[in-house]
Amino acid sequence: MEMKSKKLLILYATQTGNALDAAERIAREAERRACLVLIHSTDEYDASSLPEEDAVIFVVSTTGQGDTPDSMKVFWRFLLQRNLGSHWLDGVHYAVFGLGDSGYQKYNFVAKRLDKRLSDLGATAVVERGLGDDQHPSGYEAALDPWMSSLWSRLCEIKPNFFPEGPDFVASNVELIGQPKFQVTCHNIKNMDSQLSTAADFKHLEMQIGRARSMSPGKVSHEKSKPDAFLKMIKNCPLTRASNEKDVRHFEFEFVSRVMQYEIGDVLEVLPSQNPAAVDSFIQRCNLDPESFITVHPRETENHHLDNNVHALEVPIKLRTFVELAMDVASASPRRYFFEVMSFFATAEHEKERLQYFASPEGRDDLYQYNQKERRTVLEVLEDFPSVQMPFEWLVELVPPMKNRAFSISSSPLAHPNQVHLTVDVVSWTTPFKRKRRGLCSTGLAGLDPEQKIYIPVWFHKGLLPSPPPLLPLILIGPGTGCAPFRGFVEERAIQSLSGPIAPIILFFGCQNEENDFLYRDFWLFHSQNDGVLSEAKGGGFYAAFSRDQPQKVYVQHKMQEQSQRIWNLLCEGAAIYVAGSSTKMPSDVMLAFEEIISKESGAPRESAARWLRSLEKAGKYHVEAWS
């Protein structure tokens, strides 16, 4: 009989990188116990070899409305095949840790489904699945710590051969710091970039961004490194009153490099630009040479046998450009592991002790107060611990990657060929220690002057709101900036109505005050009068809820109740429902309002109304795009 592998396999499925962080943390803890580990993303692993594994740990995140991360879609489809019987995974031990957000209805849906499917296929759970929650004050780590400690004690009992040093052996962290996962090579090149022309040379800009992002450790496998296009801002208008605490803007952009085809409901991703002064301070604080040319690649390990050709293809990039485009030094907070590694390089004893405490389970809540709650940036943390000099290779691995910011497109390409419009809330807040914080991307965009020639790198994506055909009746719920995609929907229908029949649209919008933050007021009113696409004469309607204009709060769901008969009539005509906006409570409140309306109008009990809504979801007629 063949011997099964003595290696613990860890498979992760990540959308934004958190599940990878958690998987790597589990791998480090296994290695401290002298256990050999293999770690792979689910899209790098052949699912048909699962029956040969001895023990597998899955770390999977849930995205959007209970969706599987892109990197897990093929893997999951394989597991769902009917011909895999209930004994297919006999003898395989597994454990599942999920990352989710309890603000969503389908909390940790992917982890729960995976856990059930593995056990249906005959695999045996080592421990009960762990569920990490973004809403917890310490994030997913609050659930990960206790889950890991029961995982190790159970695994030691069932698989003692995984732990050659015995059940009680744990190496100290110091022995394990080892080498960073990435290697940085310096190249002796002088003035390589100077022969290239000005910033208007898109090819050059595109190459720089592509180079930096393809070398970045934060790259998620399905992302495109090079931007799809460059945009130039042509309009920057406030949509809220200046006196209002909210600042929402309407931005209009024009394509400058190539024109991309997009559809209503699509999403635009923008690469934010960092403050050059912050980039310079970081480079100075870390004693780096901004003018040196580097390439970055994974270090050779058992998992990564490097192909020398890969390196030959990588064109060196200036260190300063790499930091600026790929490392988020002044807006994102570092992770717990950053503090752990910092503690090895601290030379002042009191700094070392504080960093070790922050990295320990006991110090987790204090670290949360100091770091995430305050949104401390990498630069601020490094300045707080001046004795720490971390090698650049560690910084490359541990500084959060510069992430694109996603926005719903608020225009229709039929109405504005060659343009893209966005509706953006300019984010600012005050931390518990009364420090003013601003959103990197929204503040950057709000500060742009349409007169200047500044080119913005962007990527286009399908969002969660598919473009509806003209004869599909629509019920749209978009409070606050949730109305953004629906501006595009209404523009598109208005143009389609000029050349043929269209189905009615009813739209529910909500904001705090009619005077202060009634976004696109004139646009909605224009289309709801004179036989416009939102006019009652055309079977449509526009209903606005102003939550703070009267003593009792009025939200979109209250306006929906008032129109319950119209909603029911449209649903009977086969309407699709689209919901967009903040993910906190709104999507579930709206879902409950629909349940009540269907139950009231049809006379059916609430349970059947809920079932009916679920079948609408399955049929692709109930779409939600929510953001936190």
Q: Are residues 145 and 237 in the same domain?
A: no
| Residue stretches of the annotated binding site for FAD | 375, 405-408, 439-442, 627
Q: Are residues 592 and 482 in the same domain?
A: yes
pLDDT in tens, 76-91: 999 999 889 899 999 9
Using CB atoms within 10 A of its CB, is residue 110 exposed (0-12), middle (13-18) or buried (19+)? buried
Averaged pLDDT for residues 514-529: 94
Q: Please name which of 289, 297, 293 lies closest in space to residue 183, comparing C-alpha atoms.
A: 297
Q: How confident is the model at residue 191 (pLDDT cuts 50, 70, 90)?
A: low
Residue 245, domain member (yes or no)? yes
List binding-site positions for FMN.
14-19, 61-64, 134
Domain enclosing residue 599, as ranges: 474-627
The CATH number that applies at residue 240 is 1.20.990.10
**Considering the entire predicted model, what is its pTM?**
0.83
User: Does one domain contain both 289 and 222?
Assistant: yes
* Residue 512 domain flag: yes
Same domain for 389 and 245, yes or no, is yes
Instruction: Return the CATH number at 555.
Output: 3.40.50.80
Q: Are residues 31 and 153 in the same domain?
A: yes
How much is the average pLDDT of 385-414? 94
Tens-place pLDDT, residues 367-384: 888 998 888 999 999 999
Residue 459 has what pLDDT? 95
74-131 per-position pLDDT tens digit: 999 999 998 898 999 999 999 999 999 887 778 899 999 999 999 999 999 999 999 9
Same domain, 32 and 80: yes
pLDDT tens figures, 46-55: 999 999 998 9
Among the three residues 141, 175, 209, which one is the final residue of a domain in this structure? Answer: 175
Rounded (5°) CA angle 302-303-309 = 100
> Are 100 and 135 contained in the same domain?
yes
Nearest CA among 464, 458, 476, 474 for reference residue 421: 458
Binding-site annotation, residues for NADP(+): 481, 547-548, 553-557, 589
In a domain, 427, yes or no: no
- Percent of all residues in the chain with a pLDDT value above 70, rounded to a whole number: 93
Distances (CA, A) of 172 to 31, 130, 175, 347: 11, 25, 6, 19
Domain for residue 463, yes or no?
no
Using the predicted structure, report yes or no on whether residue 536 has a pLDDT greater than 50.
yes
Flag whether 80 is in a domain: yes
* Encoded tokens for 522: 């004139």
Q: Are residues 511 and 566 located together in one domain of the fold? A: yes
Say if residue 531's pLDDT is above 50: yes
| Mean pLDDT, all residues of the chain | 89
- Alpha-carbon distance of 420 to 418, in angstroms, equals 7
Asked if pLDDT for residue 63 goes beyond 90, the answer is no
Q: Are 377 and 329 in contact (CB under 8 A)?
A: yes
Same domain membership, residue 236 and residue 205: yes
Judge if 201 and 153 occupy the same domain. Answer: no
DSSP-assigned letters across all residues of 393-409: HHHHHHSPBPPPEEEEB
- Contact call for residues 8 and 38 (beta carbons, < 8 A): yes
Which residue numbers belong to the known binding site?
14-19, 61-64, 134, 375, 405-408, 439-442, 481, 547-548, 553-557, 589, 627
In a domain, 2, yes or no: no
**Interval 316-330 mean pLDDT:** 94
Give the pLDDT confidence score for residue 173 in this predicted structure. Answer: 61
- What would the mean pLDDT of 532-541 be, rounded to a whole number? 94
| pLDDT tens for each residue of 549-590 | 888 888 999 999 999 999 999 999 999 999 999 877 888 899
Of 351, 367, 398, the position where a domain reaches its end is 398
Buried b (16+ CB within 10 A) or exposed e, 560-588: beebbebbbbbbeeebbbbbbbbbeebbe
In a domain, 454, yes or no: no
CATH number of the domain to which 15 belongs: 3.40.50.360
Angstrom distance (rounded) from CA 224 to CA 219:
9
Q: Contact, 205 vs 457, CB < 8 A?
A: yes
What is the Cα–Cα distance from 557 to 591, expressed in whole angstroms? 9
Mean pLDDT, rounded, for 444-451: 93
**What is the structure's pLDDT at 510?**
94
Instruction: Round to whole Å and give the CA distance between 97 and 114.
Output: 10
- pLDDT-derived band at 312, boundaries 50, 70, 90: very low
Q: How many CA atoms lie within 13 A of 359 on its CB side?
A: 18
| H helix or E strand, kind and range, residue 544 | strand 541-546
Are 345 and 494 part of one and the same domain?
no
DSSP letter at 334?
Answer: P
Q: Which residues make beta-bridge pairs with 41?
A: 12
Pairing of strands 93-100, 55-61: parallel
**Based on the domain organization, do 165 and 212 belong to the same domain?**
no
Mean pLDDT on 244-271: 92
Structure tokens at 536: 């009652």
Closest to 28 in 3D by CA, of 39, 19, 17, 44: 39
Domain end: 175, 205, 226, which one?
A: 175
Paired residues of 327 in beta bridges: 401
H-state helical runs in 455-573 = 484-496, 521-527, 556-562, 564-572
**404 in any annotated domain:** no
The total number of structural domains in the chain stands at: 3
